[in-house]
């Protein structure tokens, strides 16, 4: 996802990072120094059904959740205009980069855009959380 966003979301200027970078910011009680930027995080798994064991193998569909945390300064460096004017184009660019894409041939589904919402606004930085799911299947032989 990180490489995909670096390639397909030019408004982020290659500032796309993983969970460890966001954890380091949180540990330091800091906000990103350069924005806009995004952090990609796995958010969990949700079963889609009770599964099927009748075929000699257990198969269950699930959604793998991901969040893209978009950080954006409220004003440009000169304080002349609201940088938040750019948030909708950035959200749409991120959604278009990921929605309908599958990371590999072994995954059953494609990324589905679920929602985008303001998660926080502190120290002049607006933080938006964009949620996506990717459908896949558990396939095991009991």
Per-residue confidence in pLDDT tens, the chain, 142 aa: 999 999 999 999 999 999 999 999 999 999 898 899 999 999 999 998 777 877 678 888 999 999 999 999 877 665 555 566 788 999 999 999 999 999 998 889 999 999 999 999 888 888 999 999 999 988 888 7
Predicted pLDDT at 80: 57
Report whether 6 contacts 103 (CB < 8 A): no
Report whether 38 contacts 2 (CB < 8 A): no
The CA distances from residue 53 to 60, 82, 120, 140, 141, in Å, are: 9, 55, 44, 9, 9
Predicted pLDDT at 78: 59
Predicted pLDDT at 76: 64
The CA distances from residue 78 to 13, 45, 74, 82, in Å, are: 19, 43, 11, 10
Separation of first and last alpha carbons in the chain? 32
- Residue of 42, 30, 7 whose CA lies nearest to 131: 42
Predicted pLDDT at 74: 78
């Amino acid at each position: 996802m990180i490489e995909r966003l670096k390639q397909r979301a030019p408004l982020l200027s290659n500032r796309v990072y993983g969970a460890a970078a966001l954890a380091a910011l949180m540990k330091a009680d800091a906000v990103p120094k350069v924005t806009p930027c995004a952090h990609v995080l796995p958010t969990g798994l949700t079963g889609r059904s009770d599964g099927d064991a009748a075929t000699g193998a257990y198969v269950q569909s699930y959604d793998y959740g991901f969040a893209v945390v978009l950080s954006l300064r409220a004003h440009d460096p000169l304080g002349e205009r609201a940088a938040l004017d750019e948030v909708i184009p950035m959200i749409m660019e991120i959604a278009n980069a990921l929605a309908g894409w599958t990371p590999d041939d072994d995954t059953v589904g494609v990324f589905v855009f679920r929602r985008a919402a303001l998660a926080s606004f502190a120290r002049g930085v607006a933080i938006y959380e964009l949620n996506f799911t990717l459908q896949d299947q558990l396939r095991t032989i009991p």
